[in-house]
């Protein structure tokens, strides 16, 4: 049974087509990296899977529906003055959608929240105001919030943004551990493929209304990316890193080729 | 008369009960209002309660109903503006200015007793009778009951709207229901502390509480305590010297706020 299934999916805003004819099956336990320049429709894909954005045509299916999804949003800056602790944020991920105060089963709830917090190593600062925590600390709590509801599908929208290398490792390994232990399907939007390259099963690469799906080797090569960007792009493997050089602009990371530079 | 003689009086007792009930409602709503950055919207709502009251005076219907209609209409209108609308503050400002202008016009046209006018602005708690108090209690219970039911998803939507939407929380509907609750609570408060001073009960105690704790539950509990101290304490302080109730309520509330800011600053430095 697939975790996510898209058939002939098309999404357009007005006459701007983000993607069309998208057939995608994600299996339980699969790690799918979603790449593409700004505005290529990565976040929109997440919105479609969450049922917040209707497709222009085609069908979308997520096993277990909305409540089976753990979601880490792209824009996560929490306000410094917010009256909220990490513990509260994680708890909302568990039962924030339920009506009422939730006075029953408080003990069991506390055990689950504590366990989720401990699993991301955030116990030390779980009772601090969330606004004063560092980006990496907030992001670990976001991971705990997404995992505490025991999701079958995990949608992560640029969870590595503005994290240093050590924290990028921590966060991606936490997510990897989850999908191995609980067979959770992972959609992982990222601008930098290298930090997660060893974990990735397949890549979905979106550019300007075109896309490719395949293993990293199938997609991250000069021919495929040149076709996608419609401009000569060099892909070089250096040890276990993938470097993309395109349109005269040398990029340190996998892409950052903007749609403009490529058109 | 000593303060104890004053406390024997029926209307003083009514006033104290009314103030205690209102402070409870305002204290519970406050942290949500502050989190949702609705302080200015509440201010606008209360002033439009005044416009509604002025219209009621002119039309010869109950001022209570007038202010209720005024503030509920305003709260709904402002509740429909999303927190993310960058022009929300300016829209509130524009509506508020127009509403106040209309209120002033209706005052000018009203030929009745001037004291009725003043009470709309600064409250008339010493004038509440026991039927008003009953109405207040019933309305407050209704507001708190609805709030208890929607509390968790509403809180989720207030602090983390992106994930709340993703989890299927009806964020927009909740925001409208909450605006309604705020509208009713504001109209009730207008009766007691007047249109100009609603913020002293709804915003200041919550803002004070949120300076000293990061726990949402504790913040709400403290906010209720602060609102009670300000409302009940303000009335008690005003009785003997015969000072205006609203002046005392706002003063107590502001002193608590200053103290909490101080405590919060010390906490942060030593943390
Ligand atoms: N509701 C909407 N109405 C109209 N256009 C939209 C809407 N939502 C997104 N878009 C447009 O669709 C395009 C894709 O947006 P999306 O947020 O999916 O991009 P993205 O790939 O996540 O980009 P980024 O890397 O910057 O996060 C953008 O050009 C955006 O302006
Ligand atoms: Mg995006």
Domains of chain A: 4-219 (3.40.50.300)
pLDDT in tens, A153-176: 999 999 998 788 888 998 899 999
* pLDDT at A256 exceeding the cut of 50: no
* pLDDT at A261 exceeding the cut of 50: no
pLDDT in tens, A192-241: 899 999 999 999 999 988 999 999 999 999 999 999 998 888 998 888 88
- Mean predicted lDDT score pLDDT of chain B: 86
Question: Does A42 contact ligand 1 (Cβ within 6 A)?
Answer: yes
- Closest-CA residue, ligand 1 atom 16, reads A41
| Listed range (A141-150, A151-160, B70-79, B163-172) with the worst mean pLDDT | B70-79
| Residue A232 half-sphere exposure toward CB, CA atoms < 13 A | 3
Q: Which ligand is nearest to the CA of A39?
A: 1
**Reduced to 3 states, what is the DSSP secondary structure of residue A116?**
helix
Domains of chain B: 3-196 (1.10.3470.10)
* pLDDT at B267 exceeding the cut of 80: yes
pLDDT value of residue B194: 73
Report angle CA B26, B30, B34 to the nearest 5 degrees: 155
What percent of chain B is modeled with pLDDT above 90? 41
CA distance A171 to chain B (A): 18
Residue B115's pLDDT band, with cuts at 50, 70 and 90, is low
pLDDT value of residue B262: 95
pLDDT value of residue A80: 72
* Residues on chain A touching B160 (C-beta within 8 angstroms): 78, 89, 92, 96
As given in the structure block, the two tokens for residue B140 are 């407050």
3 state SS for chain B: CCHHHHHHCHHHHHHHHHHHHHHHHHHHHHHHHHHCCCHHHHHHHHHHHHHHHHHHHHHCCCHHHHHHHHHHHHHHHHHHCCCCCCCHHHHHHHHHHHHHHHHHHHHHHCCCCHHHHHHHHHCCHHHCCHHHHHHHHHHHHHHHHHHHHHHHHHHHHHHCHHHHHHCCCCHHHHHHHHHHHHHHHHHHHHHHHCHHHHHHHHCHHHHHHHHHCCCHHHHHHHHHHHHHHHHHHHHHHHHCCCCCHHHHHHHHHHHHHHHHHHHHHHHHHHC
Greatest mean pLDDT among A14-18, B111-115, B259-263 lies in B259-263
- Closest-CA residue, ligand 1 atom 6, reads A13
pLDDT value of residue A174: 92
| Listed range (B48-57, B93-102, B192-201) with the worst mean pLDDT | B192-201
Question: Does A152 contact ligand 1 (Cβ within 6 A)?
Answer: no
What would the mean pLDDT of A85-104 be, rounded to a whole number? 90
Do B119 and B127 meet the contact criterion of CB atoms below 8 Å apart? yes
As given in the structure block, the two tokens for residue B6 are 């004053």
pLDDT value of residue A203: 96
Q: How far apart are CA B208 and CA B204, in angstroms?
A: 6
What would the mean pLDDT of B184-211 be, rounded to a whole number? 85
Question: Does A43 contact ligand 1 (Cβ within 6 A)?
Answer: yes
């Amino acid at each position: 049974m697939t975790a996510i299934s898209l058939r002939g999916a098309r999404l357009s805003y007005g006459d701007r087509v983000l993607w069309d004819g998208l057939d995608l099956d994600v299996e339980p336990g699969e790690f799918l990296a979603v790449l593409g320049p700004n505005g290529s429709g990565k976040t929109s894909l997440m919105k479609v899977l969450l049922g917040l954005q209707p497709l222009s045509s085609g069908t979308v299916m997520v096993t277990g529906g909305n409540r089976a999804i753990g979601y880490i949003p792209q824009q996560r800056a929490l306000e410094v003055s917010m009256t909220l602790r990490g513990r509260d944020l994680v708890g909302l991920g568990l039962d924030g959608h339920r009506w009422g105060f939730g006075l029953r089963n408080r003990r069991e709830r506390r055990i689950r929240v504590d366990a989720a917090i401990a699993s991301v190593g955030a116990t030390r600062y779980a009772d601090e105001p969330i606004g004063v925590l560092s980006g990496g600390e907030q992001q670990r709590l976001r991971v705990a919030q997404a995992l505490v509801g025991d999701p079958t599908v995990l949608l992560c929208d640029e969870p590595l943004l503005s994290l240093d290398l050590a924290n990028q490792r921590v966060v991606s390994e936490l997510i990897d551990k989850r999908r191995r232990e609980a067979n959770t399907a992972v959609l992982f939007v990222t601008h930098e493929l290298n930090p997660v390259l060893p974990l990735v099963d397949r890549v979905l690469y979106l550019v300007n209304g075109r896309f490719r799906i395949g293993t990293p080797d199938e997609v991250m090569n000069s021919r495929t990316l040149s076709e996608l960007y419609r401009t000569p792009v060099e892909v070089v493997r250096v040890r276990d890193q993938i470097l993309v050089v395109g349109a005269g602009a040398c990029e340190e990371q996998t892409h950052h080729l903007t749609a403009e530079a490529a058109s | 008369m000593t303060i104890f003689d004053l406390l024997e009086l029926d209307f003083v007792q009514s006033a104290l009960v009314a103030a205690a009930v209102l402070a409870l409602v305002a204290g519970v709503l406050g942290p949500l209002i502050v989190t949702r950055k609705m302080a200015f919207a509440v201010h606008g709502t209360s002033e439009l309660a005044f416009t509604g009251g002025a219209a009621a005076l002119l039309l010869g219907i109950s001022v209570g109903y007038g202010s209720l209609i005024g503030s509920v209409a305003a709260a709904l209108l402002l509740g429909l503006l999303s927190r993310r609308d960058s022009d929300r503050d300016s829209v509130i400002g524009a509506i508020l200015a127009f509403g106040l202008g209309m209120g002033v016009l209706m005052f000018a046209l009203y030929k009745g007793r001037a004291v009725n006018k003043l009470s709309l602005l600064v409250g008339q708690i010493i004038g509440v009778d026991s039927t008003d108090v009953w109405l207040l209690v019933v309305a407050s219970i209704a507001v708190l009951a609805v709030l208890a039911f929607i509390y968790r998803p509403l809180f989720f939507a207030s602090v983390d709207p992106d994930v709340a939407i993703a989890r299927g929380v009806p964020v927009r509907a909740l925001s409208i229901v909450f605006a309604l609750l705020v509208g009713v609570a504001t109209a009730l408060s207008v009766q007691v502390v007047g249109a100009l001073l609603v913020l002293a009960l709804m915003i200041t105690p919550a803002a004070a509480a949120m300076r000293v704790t990061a726990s949402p539950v504790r913040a709400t509990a403290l906010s209720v305590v602060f609102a009670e101290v300000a409302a009940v304490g303000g009335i008690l302080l005003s009785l003997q010297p015969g000072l205006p109730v609203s002046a005392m309520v706002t003063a107590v509330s502001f002193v608590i706020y200053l103290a909490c800011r101080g405590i919060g600053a010390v906490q942060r430095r030593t943390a």
